[in-house]
Amino acid sequence: MILDAPLTARVAGIDPLSPTLKRVRFVPERGRFPTAAPGAHILVTLRGPERIWKNAYSLVTPPEQRDSYAIIVRRVEASRGGSHFLHDHLKPGDPVEIGPPTSLFPIASLARRHILIGGGIGLTPFLSYLPVLRARGAAFELHQYCTDDESEVFAGLLAEAGGMAMIHGRTNRRSVAGILADQPLGTHVYTCGPERLMAAVEAAAFAAGWPSGAIHKESFGSAEGGAPFTVTLARSGRTVPVSESQSLLEALETAGVEAPCLCRGGACGVCLTRVIDGAIEHRDHVLTEEERAGGRLIATCVSRARSDALVLDL
């Protein structure tokens, strides 16, 4: 179930893990947080002096932990500012608004074996998987791909997984094809990380004859900027500019438009909006090729205009 009411919280602690990674812990202002499913994420609202960011982050705390939530965030140089604000300005004691936990990346209940493949910060949803898989006595293994200089950081985060977790640095890594070959029937694979890694996992699984239902991936999309454009809202006649550093969804929110969203990464389909006119640059993971060719739906959180303007059914 998707809950709309935001949760009021404050920053309880910030732990530097590496030059670009920080773990941030939140505590509720009142009571306790809702129980989160394995692989759940929260939407964090960051309020800067001149703009607001709403970013989705995977919870890294165990699902049953309700006195606090934690996320791990990488400071990305090419970010639109959210990760910079969190790393450079957020401090313990600051109030923060977060959305209730939502899971679009659950553990397959009927799987006989689980293969978890993470890349860089894509490890985060699996940190909430691990206590659940261990408690169930499930057969699993985790493969984390990262740079050599971050191997020690990720090894520390995976210490409790013991021999079930393998770290693959750049100079010592096993191919995903080798990992997925000769796995027993009923095995499911889960992947989260850079698009290239997830595409390689999916391609290797299909090449090895895996059924599509046994392949799961979590993507927070690519809400990168692009050429500026304008959006006309057909129902009100308003025109909203979208800058080169904004997503379409962010521009709508800045203009005070009630725009639906959930994952903010083009993975859930909640933000799909009907396009009346204009050409779309699709960047989502939910529309079919036929729907994309039709040019009548846009994922406002990640996709942009290929034309100078769009007209939306809003």
Q: How far is CA 134 from CA 37, 138, 164, in A?
A: 15, 6, 10
Q: What is the average per-residue pLDDT within 56-62? A: 95
**pLDDT of 79 over the 80 cut:** no
**Is the C-alpha dihedral spanning 131, 219, 170, 78 positive or negative?**
negative
Contact 222, 195 (CB under 8 A): yes
pLDDT one-digit tens code per residue, 262-271: 888 888 889 9
Top pLDDT among 252 and 80 is at 252
Query: Which residues does residue 233 pair with via DSSP β-bridges, in sequence order?
Result: 312
**pLDDT of 64 over the 70 cut:** yes
Q: What is the average per-residue pLDDT within 149-177? A: 92
Percent of the chain residues topping a pLDDT of 70? 96
Contact 146, 154 (CB under 8 A): yes
Q: Could you state, in order of their start, the residue ranges of all structural domains in the chain?
A: 7-98, 113-218, 229-312
Fold of 113-218: Rossmann fold (3.40.50)
Write down the mean pLDDT value for the chain: 92
**pLDDT of 25 over the 80 cut:** yes
Q: How far is CA 281 from CA 198, 291, 295, 309, in A?
A: 21, 13, 9, 12
Q: Would you give the DSSP letter of residue 112?
A: S
The pLDDT of residue 4: 59
Q: Reduce the DSSP state of residue 46 to 3 states and report it.
A: strand
Q: What is the average per-residue pLDDT within 274-294? A: 94
**pLDDT of 223 over the 80 cut:** no
pLDDT bucket at 82, cuts 50 / 70 / 90: confident
**pLDDT of 1 over the 50 cut:** no
Contact 114, 108 (CB under 8 A): yes
Alpha-helix runs per DSSP H in the chain: 82-88, 124-136, 151-157, 176-180, 195-207, 248-254, 289-294
* CATH architecture, range 7-98: Beta Barrel (2.40)
**pLDDT of 279 over the 90 cut:** yes
The verdict on domain 229-312 having CATH code 3.10.20.30 is yes
**Is the C-alpha dihedral spanning 39, 42, 43, 47 positive or negative?**
negative
The pLDDT of residue 78: 63
Q: What is the average per-residue pLDDT within 134-154? A: 96
Q: What is the average per-residue pLDDT within 150-173? A: 91
pLDDT bucket at 261, cuts 50 / 70 / 90: confident
Query: pTM for this one?
Result: 0.86
Contact 117, 197 (CB under 8 A): yes
pLDDT one-digit tens code per residue, 105-137: 999 999 999 999 999 999 999 999 999 999 999
